Structure 1
Amino acid sequence: MSKNEKKKYIYEKLVEQQSEARLVRRIVLVAAVLLILFAAAAGAGGYFYINKALQPVDESNTKEVKVEIPIGSTVTGIGQILEDNGIIRDARLFRYYVKFRNESGFMAGEYNLNPSMTLPEVIASLKTGTLMQDVVMRITIPEGKQLAQIAGIIAEKTDLNQEEIMNKLNEKEFISKMMDKYPDLLTEDILDEKIKYPLEGYLFPATYPFYTEDPTLEEIITTMLDKTKAVVEEYRGQGEEKGLSVHELLTMASLIEEEATQQVDRAKISSVFYNRMETGMPLQTDPTVLYAHGEHKDRVYYKDLEVESPYNTYLHKGLPPGPIANAGTTSLEAAVNPEETDLLYFLATPEGQVHFSRTLEEHNKLKNEHITNQ
């Protein structure tokens, strides 16, 4: 082979090797991209699966199920029993959750549990030994109720009257005792001098079973606060990401609860509130005005908007000092997951519809169409 032929051969080999190298790099790059996309998809799918599994099996189903936990049951065994009885979604996730949270002290026995319970509630029941008993009394607190209304509901079920209950719920010694019992839930925020009632918005809407004929008011309230604590824990992290303390989270959720006429409107209403705060606009939500007046009205007039109160969001920017009612999970969910919009106005019609708009001009037009001529 001549010198020129040898050079040509070497050159061709180099070109071939470079071509192969480019092909290999391209294959590696494509494989890496596919691997990243697969990992991201798997991670997202895993996140949504875990998030779903942590939610109650059926939030609206409060029908009690008798569940027996045998002596000597392992966490794995307890999780499987709970899944088989429809109390939790996934036994394996229950085991991981218990291990991650370092939970222990589960007690054997027969329990009354229901599919609306969150994982923290189920765990708390199994740890405290709330054994199966006949329910003697139930107290149902609907969504959107204010503290005075809740006191009235409790009064109907007990020997106490509404005034006695309200006095107790606002008693400094009682509030201090509850704050010591629930330090992560009841913070110094509820002692702000502008707050109307410290426990407003902190008694979660649910049906509460009681197993004695005459539970004390403290027993009733602690049962409700236990529920509130368990539910709020599910949203605390997302609230902090939005820059909201627990108190602010419950306050925002209460505004959404009072304004929403349909479940589907809540994320949009939440969006309007966040957009307004970001642009420096007052929230201007009528329920805060009614709360300031201390009365319910079917319609708010311009003269009502003049009430001097820290709760009046027409006069004061930002959130009011505290919640104006109790909020359910759908409003808490909307408070931490507002819809991404550029909306700044909404209008609830007498027929229960909610119309959203981006400008004051659009809003006033809707107002003339649906409200002014009523």
Structure 2
Amino acid sequence: MDNNQFLQKDAQIVRKIVLLVCAAILIACIAIGVGSYFYIKSALQPVDPQDKKPVHISIPIGSSVNEIANLLEKKRLIKSATVFRYYVKFKNHVDFQAGEYKLNRSMSVDDIIAVLKTGKITKKAGLKLTIPEGTQITQIAAIIAEKTGYKKEEVLKQLNDRAYIEHLMQKYPTVLSKDIFNKNIRYPLEGYLFPATYSFDEKKPPISDIIEEMLGKTAEVLAKYEQDMKKANMSPHQLLTISSLIEEEATEKADRQKIASVFYNRLRKGMPLQTDPTVLYALGKHKDRVYYKDLEVKSPYNTYIYKGLPPGPIANAGMMSIQAALKPAKTDYFYFLATPGGDVVFTKTLEEHNRQKEKYIGKQ
């Protein structure tokens, strides 16, 4: 075989290879295109066509498309924030209206866009519930009962129903963990119902709807601090627990970040936290003043007896306390004292603390 025949044979082989590569690339492109088409088509469809339960969403003034897309995805009203952003850009939808809306997961992306563009705000709420910061499960149950007509016992029964809570754990796996079923926990959802004002279309919505709205808000808040929690090597349960201590110790004038620093300084030194609100929680009652005899109550919540954090939160914490728990001040304080006037005095030594205590409170 002469050189020309060799060259012709090589050229044929090269052409075959080129054709095969081109065919493979073409098939891959078609596959990617078809896959992308069906992915985008699916992402534009309702999250759950059967779920018509209203989901409250607040669009602040000046919200960008990115912010709206992320909010919709967090509320599980759309499948993909990325697809939503590109779809809105492609369709040139730019005039979203700020406001309070009631959407649901049976709505398609086009349906949601139509509502947000027209500014069709939800009708007047049939029920408004305000849950203050620092409230406990029993107090929240009382507020719900008072506003809805349910009995407090009915609300507490739902809040303590293990099967129902296990269902919530599946729905909110990044928030609820097996920690809430610790044998020493008094109420599994204590500290997990975020303090805020909630609106419902019905005057007497199902208790489960009320609970899940509050729990959903907690999930939304914690999602903002996911990276901070990882950096601090802190679980949601630990964060909500120490945040609840800060919340219960803080006054209007208190520097929550300094209070947080005292707790962390004590934990690092292996000192008991010795915070009075845990004693009151252990006692199961409110008192204006904690006496030495109260500090002897035998309970895993009593941080005068047991070192470390209590088994779980002792109340719900607001945003400021959660932020303080994640970003405490850097101090060398180990003690603090709330004065009758609402100020908080921080000290480094027990001797200094006792002097301040006698000055402002007197001997017990």
TM-score after normalising by structure 1: 0.69
Question: Residue 346 of structure 2 aligns to a residue in which SS?
Answer: strand
Aligned match for 2:224, one of 234, 245, 269: 234
* 1:94 alignment counterpart: 67
- Map 1:75-114 onto structure 2 (within 5 A): 87=60, 89=62, 91=64, 94=67, 102-103=80-81, 104=83, 113-114=99-100
In the alignment, residue 99 of structure 2 is paired with which amino acid?
L
Question: Residue 248 of structure 2 aligns to a residue in which SS?
Answer: helix
Tell me if 1:290 matches 2:276.
no
In the alignment, residue 91 of structure 1 is paired with which amino acid?
S
Partner Cα separation in structure 2 for residue 349 and residue 256 of structure 1: 16
Aligned match for 1:356, one of 343, 346, 359: 346
- Map 1:101-250 onto structure 2 (within 5 A): 102-103=80-81, 104=83, 113-114=99-100, 132-250=122-240
Partner Cα separation in structure 1 for residue 281 and residue 246 of structure 2: 14
Aligned match for 1:365, one of 351, 355, 358: 355
Identity across the alignment (%): 50
TM-score after normalising by structure 2: 0.71
In the alignment, residue 268 of structure 2 is paired with which amino acid?
E
Q: Deviation per CA, 1:62-107: give whole Å up to 9, x if none.
A: xxxxxxxxxx9xxxxxxxxxxxx97155526537958999425699
Q: Show structure 1 runs of 4+ deviating over 3 A.
A: 95-102, 104-115
Equivalent residues of 1:310, 1:316 under 8 A apart: yes
| Alpha-carbon distance change, 236 to 135 in structure 1, aligned in 2, over 3 angstroms | same
| Alpha-carbon distance change, 280 to 213 in structure 1, aligned in 2, over 3 angstroms | same
In the alignment, residue 351 of structure 1 is paired with which amino acid?
G
In the alignment, residue 273 of structure 2 is paired with which amino acid?
L
| Alpha-carbon distance change, 86 to 289 in structure 1, aligned in 2, over 3 angstroms | same
* 1:77 alignment counterpart: none
Aligned match for 1:268, one of 258, 265, 268: 258
- Map 1:25-64 onto structure 2 (within 5 A): none
Equivalent residues of 2:254, 2:342 under 8 A apart: no
Equivalent residues of 1:112, 1:132 under 8 A apart: no
| Alpha-carbon distance change, 344 to 314 in structure 1, aligned in 2, over 3 angstroms | same
Equivalent residues of 1:204, 1:327 under 8 A apart: yes
Partner Cα separation in structure 1 for residue 201 and residue 336 of structure 2: 45
Structure 1 unaligned spans of 5+: 1-71, 73-84, 116-122
Aligned match for 1:327, one of 317, 323, 327: 317
Equivalent residues of 2:61, 2:99 under 8 A apart: no
Partner Cα separation in structure 2 for residue 100 and residue 168 of structure 1: 28
Equivalent residues of 1:235, 1:332 under 8 A apart: no
In the alignment, residue 361 of structure 1 is paired with which amino acid?
E
In the alignment, residue 334 of structure 2 is paired with which amino acid?
L
Question: Residue 267 of structure 1 aligns to a residue in which SS?
Answer: helix
Deviation at 1:194, TM superposition (A): 0.9
Deviation at 1:177, TM superposition (A): 1.4
Partner Cα separation in structure 1 for residue 309 and residue 215 of structure 2: 23
In the alignment, residue 175 of structure 1 is paired with which amino acid?
I
| Alpha-carbon distance change, 98 to 296 in structure 1, aligned in 2, over 3 angstroms | closer
| Alpha-carbon distance change, 291 to 367 in structure 1, aligned in 2, over 3 angstroms | same
Q: Deviation per CA, 1:33-88: give whole Å up to 9, x if none.
A: xxxxxxxxxxxxxxxxxxxxxxxxxxxxxxxxxxxxxxx9xxxxxxxxxxxx9715
Q: Which moved more, 1:278-287 or 1:258-267?
A: 258-267
